[in-house]
Amino acid sequence: MNQNCVNKCVSPECFDEVYGPSTPGPLEDGESDPERQKLFTSCVRRDYREQKRKREMARRAERDKKKSGEDKEQEGGGGEAGEIIG
């Protein structure tokens, strides 16, 4: 199995950071570099946590927006839009 290909598919950004042109370069088939593998794994986990945090913030913002809209409807009270109350 070509580990470079797998790593690049998992996270192109982390692959470039750990194995890219500014580094000693990608591993040869069958080559092992535990230190760079740890760096790659840490990078992937960091990116995953950041994406998860952003998704959660977006969900909260959407939920708060929805709740805010419901609160405004309740404050409006009265009848239907366009209905004359009097």
Residue 78 lies in a domain: no
Q: Which long-range contacts (CB under 8 A, 24 or more apart) does 76-79 make?
A: none
* 53 domain residue, yes or no: yes
Q: Which amino acid is at 76?
A: G
Residue 40 falls inside a structural domain: yes
Mean pLDDT of the chain: 86
**For position 79, what pLDDT does the model report?**
53
- The answer as to whether 29 is a domain residue is yes
Please report which confidence band the pLDDT of residue 69 belongs to, taking 50, 70 and 90 as the band edges.
confident
Q: Considering the entire predicted model, what is its pTM?
A: 0.68
Range of the domain at 55: 3-68
Average confidence (pLDDT) over 56-82? 76
Average pLDDT over every residue of 62-82: 71
The total number of structural domains in the chain stands at: 1
For residue 75, being part of any structural domain is answered with no
For 80-84, what is the mean pLDDT? 58
Residue 77 falls inside a structural domain: no
Cα dist from 3 to 6, 12, 23, 64, 80, whole Å: 5, 13, 17, 43, 63
Counting runs of H as helices and runs of E as strands, what totals does the chain give? Answer: 3, 0
